[in-house]
C-alpha cells in the first residue's frame, strides 16, 4: 500500500507540470493508498516495520508505521487529497500560468516529505525528510512570489523553521552520540536521555506553532494560497505535534515536562484566540485560531505526560485521547475553513473583512459551509471538535477531582479552555457575520459569485467528515486507543474510558431535532405570511451598508481586556470644525511576540554583525595587527594556562 | 425500563419544562409591580403573548437569509436539550452519562451562537451591538460556570449531573450560590447587567438581538429565554441544596420552593437596583467568577483532608 502511495506521488511529480488531470488522479490514488495503509495499521494495531538491505547516506532505511504515525498519515491523506482537487479549481493554469505547475510539483514534494517524516525511524533520514518538508513548505507559501508580503512571510517561515531545525539537529546528534547509531525506537528505560526532551520541545514547538513560538504562523498561513494554507494549518503544524507525541512516547521525559507543556498550551489557547478575535484579515483570524487549537492539543498532551508521571492515572488516557482526536478534528475543520476563505478570496479578491459582507446571497454554499465550520471550531455540539474538547475537559475534571498536585495544572487549564471556547465563539460569529451576513460593504462584495464545483467538492467532503465524527465518535475509539497504547504500552487498549456512545446518541438526536425544528419554524413562518421589509433599525429609514457593525467594533469589548498583551495600534482622526470633512479610525493588531521580541532581537543581531563587518575593510596593515594581536593572546593563554 | 415508560417519562418531563418556563417572567413582573405599588400585568401574560405571536405573520429584513428563522429554532432545540439533561429532584436527566454537564454548558453556548447569528443577519448596528456584548460577556460567565461545575465535580468526585447535584455544595455553598446567582442574572440579561424593560436600544443586550424578529420566531426566542431562566434557577437550587438526597415528594416541593425563591429574588434585585454602566459589567462578572473560583478552592482543599 505504502509503495503504491509512494509510486503515485512520485509519478504525480513527473506529470504535474503538463498533465494536471493525471496529476490529480495520481495524487488521489496515492492519498487513498496512504489512508488505506493507515487504516490497516490502526485496525490491527500491530503496525508495520521495514529495514532496507541497502544504505542511504551511510544508514539503512528504517521505516515504521504504528498507530501514532498512522493517525497523522490518515489526516494527511484526507487533506492532501482534498487540497489537490481544490488546487485545480482554485489556482488554475489560466490564472497562474507560471506558479500553478510549480505548485503541483511542490505539493507532491511536501506530501512525500511529510509521509517520510511520519514513517522514518532513523534520526538522519528523519532530519533529511524534515528539511525537505521545510523547503517545500517555503516554496508553497511563497508560490505567488510576485507579492511582496508572500515573499516576506515565506522568508520569516524559513528563518523560524531553521531555528527549530537547529534544535532538532542538536537533539538527534546528541541522541546518536549517546546511542552510537542513528536508529530510533522505544528507549523508555534510559533515564539519561530525559533532558533532551527540551530540545525536541523547542524544535517541534516552532513547527507546531506552540505559543510563544508561533510568531511565523499568522503571516505564513495568511499569505499563502488557500489550499496551501489548508495543508499548512490542517496537517503541517501537526507534524510538530507528531514529533512531540512520538519522542515523548519513545524516550523518558523530565519531571517538569507535563507542567511546561500544559502551561504553554493553556497560554497559547487563551492568547491565540484573543489575537484571533482582534484580526480584521479573515485568513489571519483563522491562522491565530490554529495557535489556539494547537494550545488545546498541548493541554491534552501535557496532561497525559503529567498523568503518566503520576502513576498512570486513568484521566491521563482521556487527555491523550482528546489531544489525538483534536489533531484530526482541528485538521479537518480548519482545512474546511481555509477552503471557505479561499472561495471568498477567489470571488471578491480581498481577505479584509471590513470590505466584505452579505456574501450569503451570491455564495450560499460557501456561507453555509463556513457556518458549519464556525460551529465546529468553536467546539459546539453536535460536531466533531466538541467531542475532543469534551474528552479533554473530562480528563481535567477527573484530574482536579483526584485532589493531588496535578489539580494545580488541571484547574487553570480547564478555566483557560472555558474562556478560550467562549472567545472562539465570539471570533467566529464575528467572522461569519461580517463576511457573509448583512449588506455588501463594497462593490467587490456585491459582484461576488459562487465558486466552481472543484472548489466546493472538497469542502463538502471535509464538512461531511466533521459531521460524521461528531455523530459517531465511538467508531474512532479503537484508533485512538491503539495510538494511546503505542504511546505508552502499559495502557492496554481497553473499552472506551468515556461514554462516547451516549454522547454520539445525544448528538444524533440533536441533529435530527435541529433539522426538524428548523424546517417546522420555516414552514410556520411562511404559512402565517412572510413579508420582506427594510431592516427595522429602530425606524431609521435610510440605513447604509457602512452603518453596519464592523469586525473591529464587534471584537472591541473582549480585545480591550487583553490590550496589555495585544498592544493594539489605533490611529484616530477626529472630526474637526463645524463642517468636518474627514474622520477615520484605523486599528491594527501586530503580533506582539514578533514585534516586541523577535524583531528587536533580530535587529540586535544584525547591528552586531554589521559592527563585526567593519573589522573587514581590506587594509593590509590592520590585518597584520589582527594577526599579531591574535598571536599575542594565544601566547598569553599558553604561558598562563 | 421498557420503551413505553421511557417515552411517557420523556413527554412528562418535556411538558413540565415547556409549560412551566413562561411562568417565571410573570412572577418576576408581579414582584416588581408589588414593590412599586402597581397592579402589574397578569402572571400568565407571557403565555398570552406567545399564543398571540404564534399566530402572527412575519416581517423579515430584505438582507436576511433563512438563517434568520432557522437560528432561533436551533437555539430553542439546544435549550430544550439542555433542560432535558438536567436532573429534577431525585430523578436523573432524560439522558445521563459521565460528562453530561459539559454537554449542557456547550448546548447553552450553541444557543448563544444561533441567537447571535440570527441577530446579525439583519446587518443592523443595534443588533450587532447586542450580539457583540452577549458573546463578550459570555467569556466571563462561561469561565464562572465552568469554575462552578468544577467545584461541584471536585466536591462530589463525579462529572455526571445526577451525582454532582444531589448532595449540597459543601463548605463553599454560600460562595457558589452568590456566584451562580450573578451568572444567572448575567446569562438571562436581567438587572444589573441588562434591563429587559428598557426602551433605549443602545443599552440593551438580549432585547437588542431580537429587535427585528416578529411572529413565531420571536415567540420561539422569548420561550427559549424563559426556559433558560428556569434552567439556571433549577441548576442554582440543586447545586446548593441537597435536594437529590431527599425523598421524591419532598425533593419536588423543596425544588419548587427554591426556584420560586430565586425568581422572587430576581424580581427584588430588579426592583431595588439600577442597571450598571456597561464598563462596570465585566468587573461584576469577574467578581462572580472569583466567587465560583473560591468555592472551587474550598471544595478542592476541603476534600483533601
Q: Which of residues 161-200 of B touch A (CB under 8 A)?
A: none
Instruction: Using CA coordinates, name the residue in chain A closest to B63.
Output: A438
Encode pLDDT of B150-181 as tens digits: 999 998 888 999 888 888 877 888 999 999 99
B304: pLDDT strictly greater than 50:
no
What's phi and psi for B41, nearest 5 deg? -70, 160
Q: Would you say A149 and A167 are in contact if contact means Cβ atoms under 8 Å apart? A: no
**Judging by beta carbons within 10 Å of its beta carbon (0-12, 13-18, 19+), is residue B301 exposed, middle or buried?**
middle
**Partner A contacted by B2 (CB < 8 A):** no
Cis before B192 (ω within 30): yes
Q: At what angle do helices A384-401 and A407-436 cross, to 10 degrees?
A: 160
Name the 3-class secondary structure at A52: strand
CB contact under 8 A, A549 and B129: yes
Report the percent of chain B where pLDDT is more than 90: 69
Q: How far is CA B191 from CA A376, B136, B144, in A?
A: 33, 17, 18
> b/e string for B225-261 if b means 16 or more Cβ within 10 A?
bbbbbbbbbbbbbbbbbbbbebeeeebbebbeebbee
Q: Which of residues 13-32 of B touch A (CB under 8 A)?
A: none
pLDDT tier at B200, thresholds 50, 70, 90: low
What's phi and psi for B57, nearest 5 deg? -85, 170
What are the residues whose beta carbons fall under 8 Å from the beta carbon of A202, sequence distance 6 or more? A164, A167, A213
Instruction: Using CA coordinates, name the residue in chain A closest to B200.
Output: A538
Encode pLDDT of B258-288 as tens digits: 999 999 999 999 999 888 888 888 999 999 9
pLDDT tier at B201, thresholds 50, 70, 90: low
Closest residue to B132, CB basis, from A379, A535, A557: A557
Name the 3-class secondary structure at A530: strand
Beta-carbon neighbour count of residue A467 at 10 Å?
A: 17
Looking at CA atoms only, how far is residue B136 from chain A in angstroms?
Answer: 5
Instruction: Name the residue among A465, A505, A461 with its Cα closest to residue A384.
Output: A465
What's phi and psi for B88, nearest 5 deg? -120, 115
CA distance A342 to A456: 11
CA distance A77 to A71: 10
Closest residue to A502, CB basis, from B97, B125, B216: B97
Instruction: Using CA coordinates, name the residue in chain A closest to B130.
Output: A554
Q: Would you say B191 and B205 are in contact if contact means Cβ atoms under 8 Å apart? A: no
CB contact under 8 A, A397 and B212: no
ipTM of the complex: 0.96
Q: Which of residues 43-72 of B touch A (CB under 8 A)?
A: 54-63, 65-67, 69-70, 72
Q: Which residues in chain A come in under a pLDDT of 50?
A: none
Looking at CA atoms only, how far is residue A220 from chain B in angstroms?
Answer: 29
Instruction: Name the residue among A286, A331, A388 with its Cα closest to residue A77.
Output: A331
CA distance A438 to B42: 38
Residues of B in contact with A555 (CB under 8 A): 132
Q: Which of residues 210-239 of B touch A (CB under 8 A)?
A: 211-212, 215-217, 220
CA distance A388 to A406: 21
CA distance A182 to A201: 19
Closest residue to A549, CB basis, from B58, B76, B125: B125
CB contact under 8 A, B128 and A502: no
Q: Is the dihedral of CA B146, B151, B154, B157 positive or negative?
A: negative
**Partner B contacted by A364 (CB < 8 A):** yes
Residues of B in contact with A536 (CB under 8 A): 61, 122, 124, 211-212
**Partner B contacted by A371 (CB < 8 A):** yes
CA distance B162 to B165: 6
Q: How far is CA B204 from CA B80, B126, B133, B228, in A?
A: 25, 9, 9, 18
Cis before A382 (ω within 30): yes
CB contact under 8 A, A361 and B56: no
CB contact under 8 A, B123 and A358: yes
CA distance A547 to A359: 17
CA distance B301 to B239: 19
B47: pLDDT strictly greater than 80:
yes
Closest residue to B55, CB basis, from A505, A513, A528: A528
**Partner B contacted by A511 (CB < 8 A):** no
CB contact under 8 A, A536 and B122: yes
Note the pLDDT of residue B305: 42
Closest residue to B110, CB basis, from A381, A417, A524: A381
CB contact under 8 A, A360 and B99: no
Residues of A in contact with B138 (CB under 8 A): 422, 425-426
Note the pLDDT of residue B279: 82
Residues of A in contact with B137 (CB under 8 A): 557
CA distance A321 to A301: 9
Note the pLDDT of residue B64: 93
CA dihedral (A151, A157, A159, A161) in degrees, to 10, reads -150
Q: How far is CA B110 from CA A169, A470, B107, B139, B248, in A?
A: 46, 14, 5, 14, 32
Note the pLDDT of residue B184: 96
CB contact under 8 A, B65 and A364: yes
**Partner B contacted by A498 (CB < 8 A):** yes
Looking at CA atoms only, how far is residue B36 from chain A in angstroms?
Answer: 29
Q: Which of residues 568-627 of A touch B (CB under 8 A)?
A: none
Instruction: Provide the β-strand partners of residue A530.
Output: B58
> b/e string for A141-154 if b means 16 or more Cβ within 10 A?
bbbbeeeeebeebb
* Higher pLDDT pick, B304 / A358: A358
Which residue's entry shows cell 424593560? B197
CA distance A196 to A180: 16
> b/e string for A427-449 if b means 16 or more Cβ within 10 A?
bbbbbbbbbbbbbbbbeebbebe
Closest residue to B99, CB basis, from A498, A510, A524: A498
Residues of A in contact with B217 (CB under 8 A): 521, 525
CA distance B36 to B268: 10
CB contact under 8 A, B132 and A549: yes
Domain range list for chain A: 1-240, 255-521, 592-640
Residues of B in contact with A377 (CB under 8 A): none
Cell numbers at residue A481, please?
486507543
CB contact under 8 A, B67 and A398: no
Helix residue ranges per DSSP H, chain B: 3-20, 23-36, 45-55, 67-85, 100-120, 125-156, 161-165, 173-187, 206-209, 215-240, 248-272, 281-304
Phi/psi zone of residue B215: left (φ > 0), alpha (ψ -120 to 50 degrees), beta?
left
Encode pLDDT of B243-252 as tens digits: 888 888 899 9
Question: Beta strand pairing status for A59-65 and A530-533?
Answer: unpaired
Closest residue to B201, CB basis, from A400, A433, A538: A538
Closest residue to B139, CB basis, from A417, A422, A521: A422
CB contact under 8 A, A361 and B65: yes
Instruction: Name the residue among B202, B262, B143 with its Cα closest to residue A421.
Output: B143
Q: Would you say A91 and A225 are in contact if contact means Cβ atoms under 8 Å apart? A: yes
Q: Which of residues 60-119 of A touch B (CB under 8 A)?
A: none
**Partner A contacted by B82 (CB < 8 A):** no
pLDDT tier at B43, thresholds 50, 70, 90: very high
Residues of B in contact with A548 (CB under 8 A): 123-125, 128
Closest residue to B110, CB basis, from A380, A439, A520: A380
> b/e string for A84-115 if b means 16 or more Cβ within 10 A?
bbbbbbbbeeeebeebbbbbbbbbbbbbbbbb
Q: At what angle do helices A148-179 and A123-141 cross, to 10 degrees?
A: 180
- What's the half-sphere exposure (Cβ side, CA atoms, 13 Å) at A102? 15
Q: Which of residues 516-575 of A touch B (CB under 8 A)?
A: 517-518, 520-522, 524-525, 528-538, 543, 545, 547-549, 553-558, 561
CB contact under 8 A, A525 and B109: no
Instruction: Name the residue among A179, A68, A185 with its Cα closest to residue A126.
Output: A185
CB contact under 8 A, A437 and B123: yes
What integer best gives the mean pLDDT of chain B?
91
B138: pLDDT strictly greater than 90:
yes
Name the 3-class secondary structure at A54: strand
Amino acid at each position: 500500500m505504502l509503495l503504491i502511495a509512494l509510486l503515485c506521488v512520485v509519478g504525480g511529480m513527473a506529470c504535474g507540470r503538463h498533465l494536471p488531470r493525471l496529476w490529480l488522479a495520481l495524487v488521489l490514488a496515492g492519498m487513498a493508498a496512504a489512508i488505506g495503509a493507515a487504516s490497516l495499521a490502526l485496525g490491527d494495531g500491530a503496525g508495520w516495520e521495514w529495514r532496507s538491505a541497502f544504505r542511504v547516506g551511510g544508514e539503512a532505511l528504517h521505516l515504521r508505521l504504528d498507530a501514532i504515525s498512522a493517525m497523522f498519515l490518515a489526516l494527511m491523506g484526507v487533506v492532501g487529497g482534498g487540497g489537490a482537487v481544490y488546487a485545480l479549481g482554485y489556482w488554475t493554469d489560466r490564472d497562474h500560468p507560471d506558479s500553478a505547475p510549480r505548485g503541483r510539483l511542490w505539493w507532491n514534494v511536501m506530501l512525500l516529505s511529510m509521509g517520510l517524516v511520519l514513517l522514518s525511524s532513523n534520526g538522519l533520514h528523519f532530519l533529511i525528510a524534515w528539511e525537505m518538508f521545510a523547503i517545500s513548505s517555503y516554496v508553497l507559501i511563497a508560490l505567488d512570489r510576485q507579492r511582496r508580503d508572500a515573499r516576506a512571510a515565506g522568508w520569516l517561515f524559513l528563518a523560524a523553521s531553521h531555528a527549530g531545525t537547529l534544535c532538532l539537529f542538536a537533539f538527534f546528534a546528541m541522541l546518536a552520540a549517546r546511542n552510537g547509531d542513528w536508529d530510533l525506537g522505544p528507549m523508555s528505560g534510559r533515564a539519561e536521555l530525559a533532558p533532551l526532551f527540551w530540545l525536541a520541545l523547542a524544535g517541534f514547538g516552532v513547527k507546531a506553532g506552540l505559543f510563544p513560538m508561533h510568531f511565523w504562523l499568522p503571516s505564513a498561513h495568511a499569505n499563502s494560497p488557500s489550499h496551501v494554507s489548508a495543508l499548512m494549518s490542517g496537517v503541517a503544524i501537526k507534524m510538530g505535534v507528531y514529533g512531540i507525541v512520538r519522542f515523548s512516547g519513545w524516550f523518558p521525559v523530565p519531571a517538569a515536562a507535563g507542567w511546561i507543556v500544559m502551561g504553554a498550551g493553556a497560554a497559547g489557547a487563551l492568547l491565540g484566540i484573543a489575537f484571533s478575535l482582534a484580526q480584521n484579515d479573515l485568513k489571519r483570524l483563522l491562522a491565530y485560531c490554529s495557535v489556539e487549537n494547537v494550545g488545546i492539543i498541548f493541554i491534552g498532551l501535557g496532561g497525559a505526560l503529567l498523568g503518566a508521571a503520576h502513576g498512570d492515572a486513568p484521566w491521563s488516557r482521556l487527555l491523550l485521547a482528546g489531544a489525538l482526536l483534536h489533531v484530526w478534528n482541528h485538521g479537518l475543520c480548519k482545512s474546511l475553513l481555509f477552503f471557505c476563505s479561499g472561495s471568498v478570496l477567489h470571488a471578491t479578491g480581498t481577505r479584509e473583512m471590513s470590505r466584505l459582507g452579505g456574501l450569503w446571497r451570491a455564495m450560499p454554499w460557501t456561507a453555509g459551509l463556513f457556518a458549519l465550520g464556525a460551529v465546529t471550531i468553536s467546539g459546539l455540539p453536535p460536531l466533531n471538535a466538541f467531542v475532543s474538547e469534551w474528552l479533554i475537559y473530562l480528563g481535567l475534571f477527573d484530574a482536579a477531582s483526584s485532589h493531588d498536585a496535578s489539580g494545580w495544572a488541571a484547574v487553570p487549564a480547564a478555566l483557560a479552555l472555558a474562556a478560550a471556547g467562549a472567545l472562539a465563539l465570539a471570533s467566529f460569529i464575528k467572522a461569519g457575520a461580517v463576511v457573509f451576513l448583512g449588506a455588501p460593504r463594497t462593490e467587490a462584495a456585491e459582484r461576488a459569485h459562487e465558486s466552481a464545483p472543484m472548489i466546493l467538492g472538497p469542502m463538502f467532503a471535509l464538512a461531511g467528515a466533521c459531521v460524521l465524527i461528531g455523530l459517531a465518535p465511538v467508531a474512532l475509539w479503537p484508533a485512538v486507543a491503539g495510538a494511546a497504547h503505542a504511546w505508552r504500552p502499559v495502557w492496554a487498549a481497553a473499552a472506551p474510558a468515556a461514554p462516547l456512545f451516549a454522547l454520539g446518541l445525544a448528538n444524533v438526536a440533536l441533529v435530527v431535532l435541529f433539522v426538524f425544528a428548523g424546517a417546522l419554524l420555516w414552514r410556520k413562518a411562511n404559512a402565517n405570511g412572510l413579508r420582506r421589509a427594510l431592516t427595522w433599525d429602530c425606524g431609521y429609514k435610510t440605513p447604509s451598508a457602512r452603518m453596519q457593525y464592523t469586525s473591529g467594533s464587534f471584537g472591541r469589548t473582549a480585545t480591550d481586556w487583553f490590550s496589555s498583551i495585544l498592544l493594539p495600534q489605533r490611529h484616530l482622526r477626529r472630526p474637526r470644525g463645524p463642517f468636518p470633512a474627514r474622520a477615520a479610525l484605523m486599528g491594527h493588531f501586530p503580533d506582539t511576540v514578533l514585534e516586541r521580541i523577535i524583531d528587536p532581537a533580530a535587529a540586535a543581531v544584525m547591528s552586531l554583525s554589521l559592527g563585526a563587518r567593519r573589522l573587514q575593510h581590506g587594509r593590509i596593515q590592520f590585518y597584520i595587527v589582527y594577526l599579531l594581536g591574535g598571536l599575542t593572546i594565544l601566547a598569553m593563554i599558553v604561558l598562563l594556562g | 425500563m421498557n420503551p413505553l415508560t421511557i417515552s411517557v417519562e420523556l413527554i412528562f418531563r418535556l411538558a413540565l419544562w415547556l409549560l412551566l418556563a413562561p411562568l417565571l417572567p410573570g412572577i418576576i413582573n408581579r414582584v416588581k409591580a408589588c414593590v412599586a405599588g402597581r397592579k402589574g400585568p397578569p402572571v400568565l401574560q407571557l403565555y398570552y403573548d406567545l399564543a398571540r405571536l404564534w399566530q402572527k405573520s412575519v416581517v423579515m429584513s430584505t438582507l436576511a437569509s433563512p438563517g434568520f428563522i432557522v437560528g432561533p429554532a436551533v437555539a430553542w432545540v439546544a435549550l430544550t436539550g439542555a433542560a432535558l439533561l438536567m436532573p429534577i429532584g431525585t430523578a436523573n436527566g432524560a439522558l445521563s452519562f459521565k460528562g453530561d454537564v459539559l454537554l449542557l454548558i456547550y448546548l447553552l453556548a450553541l444557543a448563544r451562537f444561533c441567537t447571535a447569528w440570527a441577530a446579525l443577519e439583519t446587518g443592523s448596528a443595534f443588533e450587532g451591538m447586542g450580539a457583540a456584548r452577549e458573546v463578550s460577556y459570555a467569556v466571563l460567565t462561561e469561565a464562572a460556570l465552568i469554575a462552578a461545575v468544577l467545584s461541584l465535580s471536585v466536591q462530589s468526585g463525579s462529572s455526571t449531573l445526577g451525582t454532582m447535584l444531589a448532595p449540597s455544595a459543601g463548605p463553599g455553598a454560600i460562595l457558589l450560590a452568590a456566584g451562580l446567582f450573578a451568572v444567572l442574572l448575567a446569562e438571562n440579561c436581567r438587572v444589573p447587567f441588562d434591563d429587559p424593560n428598557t426602551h433605549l436600544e443602545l443599552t440593551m443586550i438580549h432585547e437588542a438581538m431580537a429587535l427585528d424578529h416578529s411572529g413565531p420566531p420571536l415567540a420561539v426566542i422569548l420561550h427559549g429565554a424563559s426556559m433558560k431562566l428556569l434552567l439556571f434557577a433549577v441548576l442554582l437550587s440543586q447545586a446548593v441544596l441537597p435536594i437529590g438526597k431527599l425523598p421524591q415528594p419532598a425533593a419536588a416541593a423543596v425544588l419548587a420552593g427554591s426556584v420560586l425563591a430565586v425568581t422572587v429574588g430576581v424580581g427584588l434585585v430588579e426592583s431595588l437596583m439600577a442597571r450598571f454602566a456597561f464598563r462596570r459589567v465585566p468587573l461584576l462578572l469577574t467578581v462572580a467568577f472569583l466567587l465560583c473560583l473560591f468555592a472551587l478552592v474550598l471544595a478542592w482543599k476541603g476534600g483533601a483532608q
